[in-house]
Amino acid sequence: MGLLDFWKKIEPDKKKSPFLHTAYDAFFTFMYAPNSVTKGGVHVRDGMDLKRTMIHVVIAMQLCYLFGTYNIGHQHFTAAGQYLGFLEGFHLKLGHGLVKLLPIFIWTNVVGLGIEFFFAAKKGHAVEEGFLVSGALIPLIMPPDLPIWILCVSVAFAVIIGKEAFGGTGMNIWNVALLARVFVFFAYPTTISGDQVWVSGFENLAAGTSADYGMWHGLMNHLFGWMDIDTFDAAKTVVADGYTGATPLALAYVGGWEAVTEHYTTAQMWWGTIPGSIGETSKIFIILGALFLIVTRIASWRIMLSMFLGAVAMSLLLNAWGATPFMTVPWYYQFWMGSFFFAMAFMATDPVTATSTNRGKWIYGFGIGFIGMIVRVMNPAYPEGWMLAILFFNTFSALIDHYVIESNINKRLASA
């Protein structure tokens, strides 16, 4: 109780210092459960407040964070032709990954939470918890070398225009994390598309390009040198034997499944040791996170399953058509490539922007899978279709629920 008493003693005055009180309240409710929580209601049955519900989603992403951090370094050294075994050069790969990921994570939350604190103080209410998840999702869906200033602008756009303009957490129409990504995609497309952006630490992937190491790499070199283990070598360059940073999706669009397997094995694609967004490559760890969300009843299994079925249905139709190399990729291998599972587990299931009715969840998820596969395979401008498909169905989720409820009302009136 001593710590609790200390926190209560230092509570700022709400009228004299609204911003400080807002910040205090955010951290206080993060550490302690409120005195009164919803119990026995329709939406919350176990007495958890919203902040602790959101924390479950963040916990589900932690394996993606661990693997994504290491894979940043693994792809960097693969491009340099060093430490080709996955666990070789472990400390260097992990160190490089941390140098790239931590600034993205820190600045995402500084900008996003700073804006939320400001609006909460202006409105005179507590900080809403929605950015806990958005702040964890945004770093995972970005390329590792994204310029920080572009990241900050995209986060500000997503939070202000996508959420605060609609009233804050629970009022937003579109998924905030996806809005940040779509802003980067349309405003600065060369920083989030093509073959160059998925491998960090080089100005480009042309043969002979030197590694671009900075101050933090130098500090790590002092530590590694003291430990008498390998250090970062700025003289190392991109290998000269035609290394490509292309993702499997980019290869599939050009040459079908054969072009993909010339560069990557199915095991590499499944485990995620391939170029891509920071947290979207490892299918096994994403699926484990999805199972955690299903078991804890945080995310809807109906949306996940129906999205999978929608993607399968469209993949089979495209296989039957077979007009382009990408269309001939066997339907089951579509799930080895790209970020389908990440979109399914963490994006489509957002309870604010998804449908609420059970039948609506089936329609919503199936539509995302069906439309997303069309965009992925048939539009070369968008190498991944889930971002646009989810935002599209975010727009119509309330309408879907409306017609489902109307249908239920009409059925009951008819039976009465």
Distance (Å, rounded) from C-alpha 363 to C-alpha 300?
13
Is 220 a member of any domain? yes
Instruction: Give a yes or no: residue 160 inside a domain.
Output: yes
Question: Across-strand partners of 202?
Answer: 211
Give the number of C-alpha atoms closer than 13 A to the C-alpha of residue 42, restricted to the C-beta side: 2
Residue 255 resides in a domain: no
Q: What's the pLDDT at 36?
A: 54
> For residue 197, what pLDDT is reported?
92
Q: How many domains does the chain have?
A: 1
Which residues in the chain land under pLDDT 50? 40-46
Considering the domain boundaries, does residue 171 fall inside one? yes
Residues 200 and 145: beta-carbon distance below 8 Å: yes
Q: How far apart are CA 176 and CA 321, in angstroms?
A: 36
Residue 259 within a domain: no
Q: What does the pLDDT read at residue 175? A: 94
Residue-wise burial string across 305-316, b where 16 or more C-beta atoms lie within 10 A, e elsewhere = bbbbebbbebbe
pLDDT for 260 equals 95
Degrees to nearest 5, angle at CA 174 with 128 and 326: 135
**Which residue has 């007495």 as its token pair?**
47
Each residue of 33-55: pLDDT tens digit?
A: 555 555 544 444 445 556 667 88
* Count of beta carbons in the 10 Å neighbourhood of residue 176: 26
The answer to whether residue 8 sits within a structural domain is no
Distance of CA 389 to the CA centre of its chain: 15
Rounded distance between C-alpha atoms, residue 391 and residue 348, angstroms: 9
Q: In the predicted model, what is the mean pLDDT of the chain?
A: 89
Structural domain range at position 132: 48-245
The answer to whether 179 and 158 have CB atoms below 8 angstroms apart is yes
**Has residue 309 been placed in a domain?**
no
pTM over 0.85: yes
Note whether residue 109 is domain-resident. Answer: yes
Which conformational region is residue 274 in: left (phi greater than 0), alpha (psi within -120 to 50 degrees), or beta? beta
